Structure 1
């Protein structure tokens, strides 16, 4: 009987250890996610800041095979195409100055990808930026960014009429 009791205690002890390891791993994962989210948030803020002062290291945040989608339907650019378009704006000392009014960041289960959406105050009024990032080594690189002008529903008819051919 004593052997069964000792065996049962050992099994219960092992189960408790495994549960604690699992909880620790989950807490570490949550901590890592929070740390990565904070890091990404800061990186995006710095990225926008580089455009505001015309610093071409702005383009270093992009992955080599990235795409930037502008507000015009024709603006679907590879990184090289976007650089060619944006370079004159950067040469004048300030490309554009987007002020972040809110941002949500999400990280994939395995931590290789993240995506975000943000509300921006721009010279065009409020816009929404959406992006996808890929973890490349120790860095997050922007794979896809889309900028959209936000139009209040109450102004849609007026907007539609203004762009009719």
Structure 2
């Protein structure tokens, strides 16, 4: 009897251990679909884009002044969402990671955009209603070989009187 119980426990343990990777793979697939849909919402100027962000969610854009909570971001982006397309980001590579309980998910992605190649990272929270974006940060991917030129261009721009008054 002891051997039967031990074998049954080992079988249950093996089943639960083997289920975890497939459960994570399923969650990754759902997260990828969620983020792809979020990007598609912007590409088609659907306001559902903002519904995918947590009420206290944060969006950080490419300009140093672009740090918004969801509602301020929605207000800023209103003019873009009045067009047929706000912006079009297409992921070319994405890595998805998650906490053991899968309630917190973080990711990084390379994007094909109208600005060229960008990279972004984000944090997603899994709720009873589904996923919501807590934090997203977008940056323009600057190749190291031209970083000095880009840095100089930024410094020169910020040294101009008009740029100084915009700070």
Normalized against structure 2, the TM-score is what? 0.90
Partner of 1:20: 11
Once the two structures are superposed, residues 46-92 of structure 1 have per-residue CA deviations (whole angstroms, 9 ceiling, x without a partner) of 11011111111111110111000001111110001100111100101
Normalized against structure 1, the TM-score is what? 0.91
Distance in 2 of aligned mates of 1:11 and 1:155: 69
Partner of 1:149: 140
2:38 is the counterpart of 1:38: no
2:76 is the counterpart of 1:85: yes
Q: Cα RMSD between the aligned structures? A: 1.0
Once the two structures are superposed, residues 122-141 of structure 1 have per-residue CA deviations (whole angstroms, 9 ceiling, x without a partner) of 11111111110001104011
SS at match of 1:154: helix
Aligned-residue offset at 1:12: 2.8
SS at match of 1:81: helix
More displaced stretch, 14-23 vs 48-57: 14-23
Distance in 2 of aligned mates of 1:100 and 1:29: 26
Runs of 5+ in structure 1 lacking a partner?
Answer: 1-9
Name the larger-Rg structure.
Answer: 1
Partner of 1:95: 86
Runs of 5+ in structure 2 lacking a partner?
Answer: 160-167
